[in-house]
Structure 1
Amino acid sequence: MTTRQLTTEPTTTTLTKFVDPLPIPKRLRADPADPLPSFTIRTVAAELRLHTQLPPTALWTYGGDFPGPVLDVHRDQRIRVTWTNEVTTPYPAVNAYLADAPGNPSLAMNDPGIGAAQPVPGTTGLPAWLDTHLHGAVTGGGNDGWMENALLTGDSQLAEYPNRQPAMTLWYHDHAMNITSLNVFAGLVGMYLLRDEEEDKLGLPDGEHEIPLIVCDRNLATDANGALTGQLLHKTTGTLPFLGPYTLVNGRIWPYLEVRPGWYRFRLLNASNSRTYRLHLLDEKDNQVTAGAVWQIGTDSGLLGAPLPVGSAGLTLAPAERADVLVDFGAFRGSSLRLVNSAQAPFRGDPLPPGVKPGDPLPADRLPEPDVMQFRVRAERLHDLVPLLRELEPGKSGEERDTVASGHGFRLPETLSPSYYRLTEQRLPADPVQRVLGLAADPDGTLGLWELQEVPATEAPTAPGQVLDGIIQVTGPTGVTTTYQRVARHFDDQLNWRARMDEWEVWQILNLSGILHPIHIHLIRFQPLSIDAYDTGEFDAALGGTATGKPVAHLAALPIDPSLTGWKDVMRIPPGTSVTVAGQFRGAAGRYMYHCHILEHEDAGMMRQFAVMPGAVMDVGRGMGGGMGGGMGGGMSGGTGITSTTGTTGMGSM
């Protein structure tokens, strides 16, 4: 396929919305009678239509489909997956770099005034070097998809997943070093559903009433006549990662789904490289947000304790976040509903501007097309569609038969997961290992993960106004100022953090940059303990630190959104905030990664490594006895660290 200068994309889409039915990914189910079910999933090149009005698009896929098949397994059922690389074609997308234009008021992806985009040298000749990571899995380091152990064509990656985890929505994607953003963009994503008895007892909508919704954004190249070629266009700028104008759900641009007027369960995944979605369901009769129809029942890593209504503020999903959602279409017979995105980009958590409603385009904020997909609710009463129900329930009224037919009599339960508990400082063991992490721009403009260690007061720099690279001072909520020294920031720096198996850790993450970062920690699930606002204006990115006596200062404790109180493996860290999370490193050991899940940031250096080891092994080693840097102490969390009044009661339910 050929393209002309990449700035000649149409300023508005030429594609018609809601003409393609939503594809439903294939399912691979594990036989419960098989002691070790085995699957082979081949990564192959394929040409698939992303929209009826487009030519076929070249992709790299799992099993020939985009997205790949849904793996559907049960808790404690170990499975073996062979990921076989059979890709023989060159990287299928145009990878282009668009230089910054400081004087341009708009950075919308289709703005022709920004300037000519230039193809990135070398990417057209990239080999199919692939590596699959099961995101959110508790599995040994050798099965986790270490990014430098990627495969060339003809090789296979053998992985075993014990599935000793509660019911949750996982997903798998490519994780190859330096090129994760490109390989995922090319199509290498898929969903993985894990079930357990606790979930089974709820009688949630299933079968055709349980539907994966894998959402992502893409851009498309054009030919010499300005027509869309179907070829993917990965266009970025010098400071911003990829953001595309076309939204895909399950591999189709702006699809529709015909539903019955009853309950549905949607397994939502944001599989975008960098775009955050704030989702709203609009009734097309009046373009108003629906009330009382949408309920969140789960987060990244499991069910909530009770259903959470999704109100007018919408449901926010940063890259790699998942949400388990129930929607009751019973009140919308004969209506059409639109799922829309209202998140400005780059997303910082800001509300919509005054006068702007969900569904309004925001081209100046890189959201030229807010539509995601359409739901078409059938007009018929369900009991008229199910004659058998009349024979089985002859004494039921029409309304009662409707209820039974729409989701098998499903009623929204008051309690979802009896094993769920809200993690608090009091539920942690005494003196957990504490880590301190900064998200900051380096003097050269690249982003890093700053592992920080407290500096004793006797060793802290004292010269008034002095700024030293890697030295920052932080004043916490108690007014105590602590000095920290950066001990690592990029992937190849020294390994500092070794966790003991089964030990609880508290990570305090301070965002010194100007944008939101979704931070993913491999292996574990966690919950936020606190979110605090900080004045980061004194942090000097050009010099890499703060001046003595001019610390980053605590402003206020912030409320934690209820949608973030479930078990997570991705945490949004807004700019100017410190988010404290806690989790237990249990179930597996090895070397793992934590990183920003904006994939262009990950590839550019926002990724670090850590190791998990049995405690007895650490005890016989030298210099492996504990965590780096102690805690934030008075610097950020206030007080002398986190203590416990209840010990570890109930911790086994993780």
Structure 2
Amino acid sequence: MTETSDGFDDYPTDLSRRRLLFGVGAAVAGATALGGTVLGPALVGEREARADPGVPGMPELLLPKFADALPIPPVLRPRGDLTVRMRVANVKLHAHLPPTPLWTYDGHFPGPTIEVQRGRRLRVAWTNELSGPLPIVAVEIPDTVPGRPPGVPPTNYPGRDGATPLAAVAGLTPWTAVHVHGAHSGGGQDGWAENGLSPGESQLSEYSNDQPATALWYHDHAMHISRFTLMSGLLGMYLIRDDEESALRLPRGKYEVPLVLCDRNLDLDAAGKPTGALLHKISIARTEPARIVVPFAGPYTLVNGVIWPYFEVEPRWYRFRVLNASNARVFRLVLVDENNVVVPGALKVIGSDGGLLGAPSTVDEPLILSSSERADILIDFGALAGRRLRLVNTRPGTAPGLPDPGNGIAEPDVLQFRVGRRGHDDFRLPAKLAPSFTRLTPADLPPDVTRRLVVLTPPGSPGDPEMWEMTEVDPAEVTIPGDGIVQLRGADGKLRTYRRMSAGYQDATMYTVPRDAWEEWSFLNLGGPPHPMHIHLVRFQAFRRELFDARGFDVRIRGTKTPLTFLSQPELEAHETGWKDVIRVASGQDGKAELVTVAGRFGHATGRYVYHCHLLEHEHAMMRPFVVTPPEVLALVSGLDEGHHHG
């Protein structure tokens, strides 16, 4: 397992000073346990009226924890064609907040869970009935804000910090494109980001659902603005069922629960009280001449659309379908008891983005999920009757359950479990899960498999991170060092030289994939935040993570001065050994780069697709197209884009 940064302290600014306030966060936690100052004046009376309000790690967050029961989104099981309407709705995000205006699917946040059977086609009319302006306030602030403690991200706090709302964002009108994330759908059904809908229009999409049982999700994918439209509420889950899953007799009905996680920030009124309005508040780091956007991280964690809820469970097994729907935050989830001690053996991972694993895996270390990753987990509450447990977000070097405000965790709690004293359960954890699952190795790939390298550049070279498509070249044919030239010395000791072919979204399409072809893609993160890389259409398996010495890359040259050399190969996590459609490519620490290699078969459909970083503040700049074409069509054109086979 690789423990890496959440992206704050990897940016080329003095953000490492944020760690200095960890002691302050711990002191706040201690003060709250002793009945010290915990909430702002606006909510003190409400707090005193509650028997168990829950206290946030930073008093500036104002809202008590565990004030709301966990809501469960409604379920749609369509028998024929389905219409889903995008509507404006007012939704309560917390008992102490006024209703929040949101853009929603069918009036719900998250949207209804769509549940289908494998192989049963579904036609959906995604109808845009939205009106009015975007229902969030967007501001940009410098990394250091007067009046805020040094060493703590100002984005930890609610409110605008004096910033003026961005007029361009405030002027956005409803323009949407729906993508069912992870679906093996044709290019015309995939929700191409530039094919947006205006109010009164419908996107007509057909989904074959011809893939193993898994948890997908649907969300807005409108070009350039998805960081705002998802934050506004346009997301929901999409479950596929099959006979293999049914045969396992996993917990079902009220014992199978979606957990849609996301972080948000809130606007404040003139008196410093939360208005309920969502705030897209990001900081801007400056390293001359670069202006670098620090990805969004909010201080409030929502589960199924509610801030810090509680969930009453019976002392038995539950199945949770966990989705990280945040813009950028990486969740490192552990289950702790009343004393912040990790509950051993209770959490089992049984599936990943693309379906069930071959066997369950016990996870006592943090379960790491980056933006858009999913995990299928089981928790056994059978021996925990009468207890109150918490799912918490933690970081390397921080004790579970304690805040780490210097690294953007103003409040670690995600969800409280209140375990009852009575319950019946005849479920037994099977030793084997999906008989159809096979763990791939490189030896399973055909000898002529196409291999590609994609380089993710660090911030400051020259601005926000970029995504470069590379091709291997003879070193004698290029100038070393040079812009876009990267050299790697791998674990086998061989030196390879790569030249950049493309970077921006508007560059020519370089990747053409024959339908049914296997491909191996490697993503190299040279520094900065973890990049959750999502490839549309295909599910893949991760072969390996590798760490390289990244000090040879020069951001001024935009290439390597000396080759990046192999250092080690960390283990994959349990959920990373299954089928996936997103893989977290973290940067190492202390001058290390991470290379993640995945492989998949593009055998489901054809058309024009994209792959991209699912960190939403990067999505528009770190997105590239690829095309899947029937091989017999490619055979008609001799030499069509032959260069792509050497990337």
Work out the CA distance in 1 between the residues paired with 2:574 and 2:335. Answer: 19
Partner of 2:91: 48
Superposed CA offset, 1:65-97 (max 9, x none): 100000000100000110000001210110011
Counterparts of 2:571 and 2:598, CA distance in 1: 14
Moved more, 49-58 or 450-459: 450-459
Does the 8 A contact of 1:619 with 1:625 survive in 2? no
**1:561 pairs with one of 573, 588, 602:** 573
- SS of alignment partner, residue 577 of structure 1: strand
Pair 231,610 (structure 1): closer, same or farther in 2 beyond 3 Å: same
Aligned position for 1:66: 109
Q: How many residue pairs align between the two structures?
A: 573
Contact 2:103 2:232 survives alignment (8 Å): yes
The answer to whether 1:290 aligns with 2:380 is no
Aligned-pair distance for 1:197? 0.4
Deviations 1:328-362 (A, max 9, x none): 1111111111111004xxxxxxxx22xx3111000
Alpha-carbon separation, structure 1, partners of 2:221 and 2:238: 16
Structure 1 pair 290–484 and aligned structure 2 pair: CA distance change class (3 A): same
1:509 corresponding residue in structure 2: 523
Q: In the alignment, what sits opposite 1:310?
A: 363
Matches of 2:130 and 2:161, distance apart in 1 = 34
Compute the displacement of 1:420 (Å): 0.4
Task: Give the conservation status (yes or no) of the 8 Å contact 2:158–2:267.
Answer: no
Q: Is the 8 A contact 1:448 1:607 kept in 2?
A: no
Equivalent pair of 1:275/1:318 in contact (CA under 8 Å): yes
In the alignment, residue 415 of structure 2 is paired with which amino acid? M
2:78 aligned partner? 30
Equivalent pair of 1:272/1:320 in contact (CA under 8 Å):
yes
Q: Secondary structure at the match of 1:600?
A: helix
Asked if residue 230 in structure 1 is aligned to residue 276 in structure 2, the reply is yes
Matched, 1:613 2:625: no
Q: Report the TM-score, using the length of structure 2 for normalisation.
A: 0.86
1:417 aligned to which of 407, 427, 434: 434
**Is 2:412 the partner of 1:370?**
yes
Q: Which residue of 1 aligns with 2:323?
A: 269
- 1:598 maps to 615
Distance 1:21 1:114 in 2: 29
| Per-residue deviation, residues 601-637 of structure 1 (Å, max 9, x unmatched) | 113x011110000000011124336562526xxxxxx
1:244 aligns with one of 298, 314, 333: 298
> How does 1:137-286 map onto structure 2 within 5 Å?
137-238=183-284, 239-284=293-338, 286=339
8 Å Cα contact 2:606/2:630 also seen in 1: yes
Could you tell me how far 1:112 is from its partner in structure 2?
Answer: 9.4
Check 1:625–1:460 CA distance in 2 against 1; reply closer, same or farther (3 A cut): closer
Identity of aligned residues (%): 49
Aligned to 1:232, the other structure's residue is in SS state: strand
- The farther-off stretch of 107-116 and 366-375 is 107-116
The answer to whether 1:99 aligns with 2:142 is yes
Per-residue deviation, residues 90-121 of structure 1 (Å, max 9, x unmatched): 10110011123399422242359996433223
Give the Å deviation of 1:563.
2.4
Question: Do structure 1's residue 572 and structure 2's residue 584 form an aligned pair?
Answer: yes
5 Å-filtered alignment, 1:355-504, equals: 356-379=398-421, 381-382=422-423, 405-406=424-425, 409-441=426-458, 443-461=461-479, 467-504=481-518
Instruction: Quote the residue 2:558 is aligned against.
Output: 544
SS of the residue corresponding to residue 513 of structure 1 reads coil
Structure 1 pair 262–115 and aligned structure 2 pair: CA distance change class (3 A)? closer
* 1:573-617 CA-partner distances (Å, limit 9, x unpaired): 1111111110000110000010001001113x0111100000000
Contact 1:67–1:188, Cα closer than 8 Å, also in 2 = yes
* Matched residue, 1:639: none
Q: Structure 2 CA distance, aligned partners of 1:625 and 1:167?
A: 36
Question: Which amino acid counterpart does residue 73 of structure 2 have in structure 1?
Answer: P
Determine whether 1:134 maps to 2:177.
no
Q: Which letter maps to 1:453?
A: T
Deviation digits for residues 155-182 of structure 1, max 9, x if unmatched? 0000000001000000000000000100
Q: Secondary structure at the match of 1:422?
A: coil
Q: How does 1:320-359 map to 2 (within 5 A)?
A: 320-343=372-395, 352-353=396-397, 356-359=398-401
Matched residue type, 1:295? K
In structure 2, what is the Cα distance between the partners aligned to 1:587 and 1:113? 46
Q: Secondary structure at the match of 1:487?
A: strand
Gaps of at least 5 residues in structure 2 are 1-57, 285-292, 588-592
Q: 1:627 to 1:170 in 2, by over 3 A?
A: farther
Determine the C-alpha separation between the residues in 1 that align with 2:158 and 2:112: 38
The answer to whether the Cα contact below 8 Å between 1:499 and 1:626 also exists between their aligned partners in 2 is no
C-alpha contact 1:473 1:546 (8 A) present in aligned 2: yes
| CA–CA separation in structure 1 for the residues paired with 2:532 and 2:357 | 20
1: CA distance between counterparts of 2:623 and 2:641? 24
| 1:172–1:190 CA contact under 8 A, matched in 2 | yes
Runs (4+) off by over 6 Å: 112-115
Partners in 1 of 2:565 and 2:479 — Cα distance? 18
**Distance change (3 Å), C-alpha of 1:155 and 1:112:** closer
Q: Distance in 1 between matches of 2:162 and 2:308?
A: 28
Judged with a 3 Å threshold, the aligned counterparts in structure 2 of structure 1 residues 59 and 557 are, in CA distance, closer, same or farther, namely same
Quick one: which amino acid aligns to residue 125 of structure 2? T
The letter for the 1-side match of 2:604 is: G
| TM-score (ref. length: structure 1) | 0.85
Point out the more displaced range, 119-128 or 169-178. Answer: 119-128
> Which SS does the other structure have where 2:194 is aligned?
helix
Can you list the C-alpha shifts for 1:432-487, whole angstroms capped at 9, x where unaligned? 0111110014633122110001122331325xxxx321112222222222221101
Contact (CA 8 Å) 1:497, 1:627: kept in 2 or not? no
RMSD: 1.7
Q: Is the 8 A contact 1:91 1:123 kept in 2?
A: yes
Where structure 1 has 5 or more consecutive residues not aligned to the other structure, the ranges are 1-9, 32-36, 344-351, 383-404, 632-654
- Following the alignment from structure 1 to structure 2, what is the Cα–Cα distance between the partners of residues 112 and 263? 37
Whether the aligned pair in 1 keeps the contact of 2:462 and 2:555 (CA below 8 Å) is no
Q: Distance in 2 between matches of 1:45 and 1:150?
A: 18
Match for residue 21 of structure 1? 69
Does the 8 A contact of 1:618 with 1:625 survive in 2?
A: no
User: What whole-Å deviation, never above 9, does each CA across 1:277-322 have from its counterpart, x for those lacking one?
Assistant: 01111112x32111111111000000000001011x1211100000
For the residues of structure 2 that align with 1:538 and 1:374, how far apart are their CA atoms?
Answer: 46
SS of corresponding position for 2:83: strand
Measured in 1, the distance between the counterparts of 2:575 and 2:218 equals 23
Aligned partners of 1:108 and 1:366 also within 8 Å: no
Contact 1:81 1:160 in 2 (8 A): yes
Q: CA deviation at 1:223?
A: 0.3
Give the partner amino acid of 1:16.
P
Secondary structure at the counterpart of residue 619 of structure 2 = helix
Structure 2 residue 613 is matched with structure 1 residue 630: no
